Structure 1
Amino acid sequence: MEWLIWIHVLSAMIGIGPTYFGHILLRKKQSSNQLQQSLALFGLLNYFPKIGGSIAVVSGVALVAATGWNFADLWILGSLVLYVMIQIVAVGMLGPVLKQLMQLLNIGDDAENDPGVATNKTALLAKANRLYNTASILGIILILFMIVKPM
C-alpha cells in the first residue's frame, strides 16, 4: 500500500507542479511572436497534468478502494468534484480560448497592426488568464484537501 501512496503523491507533484509555470507563459506584455512561443510551450507543459493528473486520480481511487475510506467522505468527494471542475475549466473552457488566440496570432503581420485584432488578442489573453487563474485556485484548494484529509 505504501507504494501506491508514493505513486499517488509523486504523480500529483509531477502532474500539477509544471502547470503553475503557465502563469508566466500567459503574461500580458508579450509580442505576438513571444506569445506564440509561450503558447507552444504551454501546450507541451499540458502533457504533465494530463498524464500525471490521470495517474493521480487512478491511484487515488485505488487508495480509497484499498483503505477504510469511502467515496462518501467529504474530502474525497470534494477532491473528485474539484478535479472535475478543474478539467471543465482547463480543457473545456481554457482550451478553446487558447486555440482562438493561436488562430488570431497566426493571421499574419498585416493583421497585427489592425486595432480590432489587437483588441481581440488582448481580450482573449485576459479571458485565458482569468480561466487559468480559476483552475489554479481550484488546484490549490485540491492540494489543501489532500494535506488536511482526516487520518
Structure 2
Amino acid sequence: MNDFSIYIVFIHVLSAVLSVGPLFVLFVVLRKMQESDRQLDQSHISIFRSVVRLIKHAGHVLVGSGVLLIIIGPWSWYTSWIVMTIALMVVSIFFLARAFSSILKRFDDVEADRFSLISKLRKATWIYIILLVLMLALMVIKPTLW
C-alpha cells in the first residue's frame, strides 16, 4: 500500500465516522425537544438540519474516497460486498432525502402533534443509523455473499 492509498483510507474512515457519529447527537436534541415547549423548536430544528447537512457532506467525501479505493485497490465493482454497499447507499440516499426534511417542515404547522413528529424523527434517526451500520459492516467485514 503506497502513501496515497493510506491517505485515501484515512479520509474514507474519517468521513465514515463523520457520517455516523453526529447522528447520536440528534438523540440529545430529540430529548430536549420532548422536554421543551414549541418556542424552542426552531433552534432544535436548526441543530437537526445542521447535523443532517454535515452527514450529507461527509457522505459525499465517503463515496468519493470509496470510489478511489475501488479504482486503486484490488476489488472489482462486481465484488458482492461492494454491490450490496452501493445498493444500501442508494436506499439511504433516498431515505435521507425524504425522511428528515419532510418531518422537519411539519414543525411549522402549529396544529401538528409535536410528540408524534419527535417520535417520527427518532424512528427515522434509528433507521438511518441501521442503514449506515449495515454499510459499515459490509465495508469492514467484506463478506463474500456470492
TM-score range, shorter chain: 0.7 to 0.9
CA distance in 1, matches of 2:97, 2:104: 10
Contact 1:16 1:52 in 2 (8 A): no
CA distance in 2, matches of 1:139, 1:67: 22
Residue 82 of structure 1 deviates from its aligned partner by 1.6
Equivalenced residues, count: 138
| Percent of aligned pairs sharing the same letter | 24
Residue 54 of structure 1 deviates from its aligned partner by 0.4
TM-score by length of structure 2 reads 0.82
* CA shift digits 1:31-79 (9 cap, x unpaired): 2233332211111122321211100101101111112211211211111
User: How is 1:42-57 mapped onto 2 (pairs within 5 angstroms)?
Assistant: 42-57=48-63
Q: Show structure 1 runs of 5+ residues with no match.
A: 108-116
Report the counterpart of residue 7 of structure 1 in structure 2: 11
Report the counterpart of residue 118 of structure 2 in structure 1: 125
SS at match of 2:113: helix
CA distance in 1, matches of 2:12, 2:71: 14
Distance 1:38 1:142, change over 3 A: same
TM-score by length of structure 1 reads 0.80
User: How is 1:68-79 mapped onto 2 (pairs within 5 angstroms)?
Assistant: 68-79=74-85
Report the counterpart of residue 38 of structure 2 in structure 1: 32
CA distance in 1, matches of 2:29, 2:96: 15
CA distance in 2, matches of 1:54, 1:16: 13
Report the counterpart of residue 41 of structure 1 in structure 2: 47
